[in-house]
Amino acid sequence: MVIRLLLGLIVVVFAFAVIRALAPARTVLAGAALAAGAVALVALNPAALATVEFWAGLVGFAAILSALMIVIHPNPMVSVLFLIVNLFCIALFYLILNAQFLAAIQIIVYAGAIMVLFLFVVMLLNLKAEEGLTARGGGLQRIGAVILGGLFAGLLFDAIRDRGAQPYFEPGSFASGFGTARELGGLLFTRYLFAFEAASLLLIAAMIGAVILAKRRLR
């Protein structure tokens, strides 16, 4: 049931995309119609809304879609924005996985700091859209990359499939404090202390390096 709902919603989204591509003038109309369709679908299966699977699937769909858009869209600014969407989806995943602290810092650090950095740089360099994705390095590159990507994905899927693990997720059966800052801090300052300190050193080095690299020459 969840699957059906999900698939239906996916179909709706794709229909929207197709109509938008083919008949750009009718966007709003198409959007309204399809939104109605989505609501109808949801209304038909209200029970699915309560399941985690549905929301996880939805978020997954969003993540993958945004990832594809990063790679496909020529304009780097748009790519940055889609990356932000992707990071949000990942943060939602963290929440589903009971990693609250990670979700928080994902949004604060990743989406909030790193992506801002990216945005600044893109706007600083005033980048235009790439002229197509044809490569001077050979058309073989694109096709080869896609094929190899497919192979890679297949291999990973195969590896995952062979895991043979048991389904585990039960919301209620968690040790309290799993995923909290307290637990994480406890580990960081005892068992992984050295790595923690080394990471701080790394950050200092990165900071200094970035400053020096991006500096204008002193005349």
- Site size toward another protein (CB under 8 A) is 90
**90: amino acid identity, one letter:** I
88's CB contacts (< 8 A; 6+ apart) are 107, 111
Q: How far is the CB of 30 from another protein (least distance, A)?
A: 27
Residue 90: alpha-carbon gap to chain centroid: 5
The contacts of residue 59 (CB under 8 Å, 6+ apart) are 89, 92, 93, 96
Q: Per-residue string for binding with another protein, 133-152, x by CB under 8 A? A: x-xxxx--xx-xxx-xx-xx
- Contact 54/48 with Cβ under 8 angstroms? yes
Considering the complex, what minimum distance in angstroms separates the CB of residue 12 from another protein? 20
50, 211, 218, 219: which one binds another protein (CB under 8 A) = 211
Smallest distance, another protein to C-beta of residue 4, A = 17
Which residues, in sequence order, are CB contacts of 80 under 8 Å at separation 6+?
A: 115, 118, 119, 122
- Indicate whether 93 belongs to the interface with another protein (CB under 8 A): yes
> Rounded CA gap, 162 and 149, in Å?
20
Q: Does 79 bind another protein (CB under 8 A)?
A: yes
Q: Which of residues 165-204 bind another protein (CB under 8 A)?
A: 165, 167-169, 174-175, 178-179, 183-184, 187-188, 192, 195, 199, 202-203
Q: Closest CB to another protein among 19 and 55?
A: 55
Query: Per CB under 8 A, which region of 9-17, 19-27, 36-44, 63-71 contacts another protein?
Result: 63-71
- Among positions 109-138, residues that touch another protein (CB under 8 A) are 109-110, 113-114, 117-118, 121-122, 124-125, 127, 130, 133, 135-138
Query: What residues contact 167, with CB distance under 8 A and at least 6 apart?
Result: none
- Cβ 137 to another protein shortest distance, Å: 4
Task: List the one residue out of 27, 109, 31, 122 whose CA is nearest residue 81.
Answer: 122
Contact between 102 and another protein (CB under 8 A)? yes
